[in-house]
Structure 1
């Protein structure tokens, strides 16, 4: 099972440091997010590739709305040579990167058209697609090399996405299913409660991406559907992806049961041994896992992740 740290480019120097430590820790890859609150995506990919020798660098993920297809194709051509095959393009419909500017995500049809054109322009480029439901998963099965599943740790939902992709697959060659979780490794058991508090808005952000379109096929308790939909309608994208106390963190302050559900589904928090066990449980249904870090503690967290890598790399 491959492991990939997920990072938002706070600065060029930190991006280089995180990339070097991720490689030293034995991680397979480093995913770099596309967000208007942070540095430019492809510049950050350049920094990460230049700072490392073996690490795979991915966009996790970009979209066909805020950048023209020609920009993505040019970047893919550039990194194919400069990165010696260590670059993977992660693409989705667009979420915070587009909504922050009042734009709409690409439709499913627009996403498929963009992926098809990209594969025609740069046929050797590996592409993963961010998918939370069956329609985008179908597109990925036809047009990509894998999906980054937005289902969190829910094995039922992950299995459903894997099966949907298999049914839609029309090309030969490997197709990967990647899980995606928010990860915080505690140095000691007493630190876990504070890490859960800090990670809460990140878990809520992940759940909104996965659940806001539809609950169909996502294995969400029916009793939660109404309040989840109601609160997501008031989601503040200015705070998307940020940790700690903020308006997103308070969306379910009156429903600790929902907070616990979202944390347990979309985050892995605990000591190294506890995190290892939670991640290993996903090995039967995923080929790899994106580990989205507490970005303000990324350097220390990557070092702590190193304790997990050797055991999980052999999990299947």
Structure 2
């Protein structure tokens, strides 16, 4: 099985970094969609589409609340056309993008409906007006004189545009209900459960029970370094962020030992959203033992063995999350130099 290696990073529309990522050999780049903390992901992807020729592109990930399903589908489909079919769309319940608007993550039911609507729009099919309106109250009625009005909501231009494949949709999921929604309605399940094989096996089992042939990807924190404690210091902000996804409502999703549950509980209680992905109280709650299982930290041969083990479970795409920005460039280069080739050879 050939494993795809994607880079997960923040949108930086003016830096034209996708050209560099393509030269480095990455299979894809996924830009986060968190409007208060980074540049706009769709702007970054448009720049990437126009300045690269091979690398795959994705939003990794958007959420059901900051953009209407039709708006999201239209943006993704537009980049699909401009990139010649290299676009993917990631959707999750939402985290920092919503927190900085004073909102909590969308419910799993909302996620389900949103993914279904986006998929319908991307196929060029019609969404009912009731579904398109959702909870909006400013609806067209007799107070707005019109000779006629649309009876369905549809991306009309998509049916007339250049023939490109439908944009694949993946759903980022940590809990059992979200994993099942992803398996049922998305083209790929992207697990965000850490790199502990037992937890990954659990997530894959839930997804494959819904659809045995569903494609499985994994968000995984990786830092290649001889000193695991130093690697944890570099990556703790982002490890804490991804670990919290499995326990953000106070209940740990997936298998965990007593010591791991204690760390998960501390992350829930002490997470500082204003320090999301950076150094904060939550980082101090991470133990090296927890981080060594949840993430992949250590020398290249060790990291290689860990990632091959996960690929053997059925993961065919890794979205690699590196350390905090000031260490990110060097860590990314080290992954490419020491791990990318051997990992492809072994998978």
Number of the residue aligned with 2:157: none
Q: 1:49 to 1:27 in 2, by over 3 A?
A: same
1:305 pairs with 2:335: yes
Question: Considering only aligned residues, what root-mean-square deviation do their CA atoms show, in Å?
Answer: 2.1
Deviation at 1:7? 0.6
Deviation at 1:225? 3.1
Q: 1:231 to 1:302 in 2, by over 3 A?
A: closer
Q: Please state whether the residue corresponding to 1:179 is helix, strand or coil.
A: strand
Number of the residue aligned with 1:277: 305
Q: Distance in 1 between matches of 2:297 and 2:204?
A: 25
Number of the residue aligned with 1:31: 30
CA contact (8 A) 2:45 2:58 kept: yes
5+ long unaligned stretches in structure 1: 253-257
Q: 1:246 to 1:133 in 2, by over 3 A?
A: closer
Q: 1:125 to 1:12 in 2, by over 3 A?
A: closer
Number of the residue aligned with 2:290: 262
Q: Distance in 2 between matches of 1:231 and 1:140?
A: 25
Q: Please state whether the residue corresponding to 1:281 is helix, strand or coil.
A: helix
Number of the residue aligned with 2:7: 5
Deviation at 1:53? 0.9
1:77 pairs with 2:111: no
Number of the residue aligned with 1:104: 104
Which TM-score applies when normalising by structure 2?
Answer: 0.79
Number of the residue aligned with 1:166: 208
Alignment of 1:138-217 (within 5 A): 138-169=180-211, 175-186=214-225, 189=226, 192-213=228-249, 215=251
Number of the residue aligned with 2:53: 53
Number of the residue aligned with 2:283: 249
Q: Distance in 2 between matches of 1:6 and 1:231?
A: 22
1:296 to 326, 330, 342: 326
1:220 pairs with 2:256: yes
Q: Distance in 2 between matches of 1:193 and 1:119?
A: 43
CA contact (8 A) 1:149 1:180 kept: yes
Q: 1:214 to 1:149 in 2, by over 3 A?
A: farther
Deviation at 1:66? 1.4
Q: Which has the higher contact order (CA 8 A, sep 6+)?
A: 1
Number of the residue aligned with 1:255: none
CA contact (8 A) 1:283 1:315 kept: no
Which TM-score applies when normalising by structure 1?
Answer: 0.87
5+ long unaligned stretches in structure 2: 124-165
